[in-house]
Structure formats: C-alpha cells, structure tokens
Amino acid sequence: MRVAPERPSIDPAGIKVTGLWKIFGPRAERVLAGEDRNLDPEELRRRTGCTAAVRDVSFEVRPGEMFVVMGLSGSGKSTLVRCLTRLVEPTAGEISIGGEDVVRASPAQLRELRRHRVSMVFQHFGLLPHRRVIDNVAYGLEIQGKPKAARRERARQILALVGLDGHADSYPDQLSGGMQQRVGLARALAVDPEVMLFDEPFSALDPLIRRDMQAEVVRLHREVGKTMVFITHDLSEALKLGERIAIMRAGAIVQLGTPEELVGAPADDYVADFVRDVPRSEVLSLRWICRDPEPGESLEGPELPAHTVIKDAVPVAAASAQPIRVVDGEKLVGVVDRVDILGSLAPAPAVPEKAPA
C-alpha cells in the first residue's frame, strides 16, 4: 500500500563521502596537516589533546539504498552521521548529497538542504515537550514557513503513515518511548526529504518495541523509497536492515559490504570477532558453501538459486538424498549436499589463528 503523496515523490539522492576527517580539540587543523593524525587514539589524545572521531572515511550510498553504519560506542559513527549535514563541522573531506557540495555550502544553502533534502531521527527523540504531537511533526514545515493549515494537513497524513492516528493532540510525555520515536520518525518524514539519517534511533527502546520499529523502518523504506543512512551499535539490527553495512572502529571504516560479505569474509580479526556469534545459516547464501561436483556425483537433485539463504535450503536437502544443484540463472554454480549444509550450521571457529591447522 504505497502512500500516494499529492506531489510526485522526489527521487532519492545518493551520498558520496571522500576522505572525511573530524578531529575534536584545539589545533585540529595542525594535527590533520602533520604526522600526528596517524597516531592511535589513545596516543593522539595524550600528545595533542585532540580526539580524532572520524578518520579518513570514504563511502558511497546509492540512491534509495538502506546503508547501515555499525560500530561500538566511541567509534565515531554518530559524529560521522552529523558531519553529513554539518551538524558537526567536518575538519576535512568532501561530502556530496544528490550532487550538492555540502562542505562548501553557504549557511543559507545548508539550511535549504536541511529543510528540504535531508532529515534526521535522533536516539533521544529530541521532541519539544511544550508542543502537541501534531505540532512536533509539523515543526520542520513550520521552520520552512508553510502556512498552518497546510502543515497540519501534511502532519496528519504522516501520523497515519507511522500508525499514530488519534494521538495528534497528545503531548510527547503522554506517549510511550516507542510512540515518541514514531513521532520523531514522522517529523523527519513530514518534510519529504530525499535522504533520511537515523542516529541509533531505537537504542533507547526496549527489545520488543525495537523489533516493531525496525519492521516499521523496513516497511517505510519499501513504501517511500528514500535513501537511508542508519547508525546502530547492534549487529543484529544492522544485519536485519542494511543492504550494505560499514563497520567502524576508532573513527575509520574497517569493512564495508553486504551482510553476507561481512559474515562470510570478515576483513580482519575485529570484524571476525564481531560476527562470530551470528548464525551463519541465516545470513549466508548457498553461494558461500557450494562446491564443484565431484566426479560421478549425481546432478539429478533439486535446483535452488545461489542467493537462497542456507537455512531455507535445509528442508529441500532433507527431502532429497541427491545433492542440491545451486544455479545462478541458467548457469550451474556448484552443488551442496547434506554434509555441506550441516557443516555450515556449526559455529565458525572462535578466532582464525586459534583454529586447528
């Protein structure tokens, strides 16, 4: 049920970030210019009193993509997302949103960008306690100078979209945490932006509500088709939502890839340690475990596409004694038998170097 907006929805914009740095502290510029910038965080703070929150980060988000940035607290992910609209002023680097140069935008241009093209959802909601829900949702339109009737009308539509009909006249403190974040979501949606940024929006919610909200975001992404950048510290949330995931550590991106790539081929020990407890059979597809058929092996078994998740292949394998033929379109990629599938269900070795030779 795609909501039909009165005007044609704006095409989602892509984001391109190149060589982004953010160093907090005095003389940040000098640190960046010198060799100090390569120091590890602890050492840098001790020597210069500066903190490098974002270090030489580059990535690209495709229009309409759901892009997740994941990292533990202090990894610089919240700073990164704030740099995108210069809520935090980046120290160096290039940012372009939908082709517009954000770093060199004038204050007025930046305001226009924030008003119409990019909106944000915050971890602690940031609602205004003295305004009713409807006026919170309409806040962005009010800032733009839209007349009251028009913005209320729009706010009502959006409230319906996020499932808050009937709460328009409540005050934020009369709503539960999950509902308050729906208001935050609606506020960000109300300005019909091309890009939505989410800064750990569900971390403050309890697990059941978090699951509902994640489903809500997935649904919204499908329905409104906006470019979304989603910050989280929760790996399962990242895997559930992200088309691609960037893992951050100490300000830098250590790996960027699809969930499958992260789980199947971690770039380093840090990522491997992270994804160790992820049930591989739920993330990896048959492509990751199939092998060339051995000579004389039967090729009469059932056929499954290569992107089938391992878990979904289990019933098929159980039903047939023949190895499963894994195909990509018409082409045979390999075969998978019951032993291969059972092997993939076992947990990954703890840390690669400790694995038996």
Partner 1 sequence: MSLQATAAPAAVRLPRWLVPAGVAALFVAAYLVFKGTGTLPHDKEAPQFLAITDLREWIDANRNSSPVFLYFVNYIRIYVGELYTALYVALTSLGWPGLIGVMGGLGWLAGGWRVGLAAVAGFGSFAVLGLWDESVLTLTLVVAAVLLSLLVGMPLGVWAGRSPRLRRLVTPALDVMQIMPTFAYLAPLVLFFQIGPIAGIVATMIYSIPPAIRITALAIEQVSPTAVEASASLGATRWQTLRKVYLPLGRSTMALAVNQTIMMALSMVVIAALIAAPGLGDIIIRGLSRAQVGIMLPAGIAIVVMAVVLDRITMAAARRGPHDRIGRARLLGAAAPAVLGLAGTAVLPAQYPEDWSVRFVTQVNEAVRWAETNWYPVTAFVKDVTSAVLLNPLEGLLTSAPWWLVAAAVLTVGWWAGGVRPALTALGCLLAIALLGVWEHAMSTLSMVLVAVVFTLAAGLLLGVAAARRPRFSAVQRPILDAAQTMPSFVYLLPALALFESTKFTAIFASVIYSIPPVVRLVEDGIRGVPETVVEAATAAGSTPRQLLWKVQLPMARRAIMLAANQGIVMTLAMVVIGGMVGAGALGYDVITGFSQRSDFGMGFAAGVATVLLGVMLDRITTARRSS
Give the helix, strand, coil percentages of the chain, each rounded to 5. Answer: 40, 20, 40
Of positions 21, 67, 122, 202, contacts partner 1 by CB under 8 A: 122
Q: Rule CB under 8 A: is residue 120 a binding residue for partner 1?
A: yes
Sheet containing 15-24, strands listed edge to edge, beginning at the edge strand earlier in sequence: 51-61, 15-24, 92-97, 100-101
Per-residue tokens: 279: 């049930």
| Residue list 196-255, contact with partner 1 (CB under 8 A) | 197
Sequence-ordered alpha helix ranges (H) in 191-268: 207-224, 235-241, 259-264
Q: Which residues pair with 324 in a beta bridge?
A: 336
Using the minimum distance from each CB to partner 1, give the nearer residue, 184 or 259.
184
Contacts of 154-162 with CB under 8 Å at 24 or more apart are 154/190, 155/186, 155/190, 157/3, 158/186, 158/189, 158/190, 159/133, 159/134, 159/186, 161/3, 161/186, 161/189, 161/220, 161/223, 162/186, 162/189, 162/216, 162/220
Do 340 and 350 meet the contact criterion of CB atoms below 8 Å apart?
Answer: no
Using the minimum distance from each CB to partner 1, give the nearer residue, 133 or 256.
133
| Distance in Å, CB of 209 to partner 1, minimum | 19
Of positions 31, 127, 247, 341, contacts partner 1 by CB under 8 A: 127
Phi, psi of 218 (to 5 degrees): -60, -45
Interatomic CA distance for residues 230 and 237, integer angstroms = 10
Of positions 71, 93, 184, 251, contacts partner 1 by CB under 8 A: 184
| Only segment of 28-36, 93-101, 184-192, 322-330 that touches partner 1 (CB under 8 A) | 184-192
Using the minimum distance from each CB to partner 1, give the nearer residue, 133 or 283.
133
Q: Rule CB under 8 A: is residue 146 a binding residue for partner 1?
A: no
Q: Rule CB under 8 A: is residue 142 a binding residue for partner 1?
A: yes
Of positions 22, 37, 114, 167, contacts partner 1 by CB under 8 A: 114
Phi, psi of 217 (to 5 degrees): -65, -40
Residue type, 13: A
Per-residue tokens: 27: 């003389």
**What is the β-pairing status of strands 15-24 and 51-61?**
antiparallel
**What is the β-pairing status of strands 227-232 and 66-70?**
parallel
Using the minimum distance from each CB to partner 1, give the nearer residue, 119 or 281.
119
Q: Rule CB under 8 A: is residue 67 a binding residue for partner 1?
A: no
Q: Rule CB under 8 A: is residue 115 a binding residue for partner 1?
A: yes
Burial class for 176, CB neighbours closer than 10 Å (0-12, 13-18, 19+): exposed
Using the minimum distance from each CB to partner 1, give the nearer residue, 118 or 263.
118
Using the minimum distance from each CB to partner 1, give the nearer residue, 80 or 310.
80
- 3-class DSSP state for residue 250? coil
**C-beta neighbour count of 143 within 10 angstroms:** 13
| Distance in Å, CB of 114 to partner 1, minimum | 3
Stretch 80-109: interaction string toward partner 1, x if CB under 8 A: -----x-x----------------------
Interatomic CA distance for residues 62 and 181, integer angstroms = 26
| Residue list 148-167, contact with partner 1 (CB under 8 A) | none
Using the minimum distance from each CB to partner 1, give the nearer residue, 188 or 239.
188
Using the minimum distance from each CB to partner 1, give the nearer residue, 187 or 325.
187
Using the minimum distance from each CB to partner 1, give the nearer residue, 80 or 290.
80
Of positions 3, 33, 143, 299, contacts partner 1 by CB under 8 A: 143
| Distance in Å, CB of 129 to partner 1, minimum | 4
Q: Rule CB under 8 A: is residue 311 a binding residue for partner 1?
A: no
Of positions 125, 198, 230, 274, contacts partner 1 by CB under 8 A: 125
Q: Rule CB under 8 A: is residue 186 a binding residue for partner 1?
A: no
| Distance in Å, CB of 161 to partner 1, minimum | 18
Do 69 and 233 meet the contact criterion of CB atoms below 8 Å apart?
Answer: no
Q: Which residues bind partner 1 (CB under 8 A)?
A: 85, 87, 110-116, 118-120, 122-132, 139-140, 142-144, 171, 173, 184, 187, 191, 197
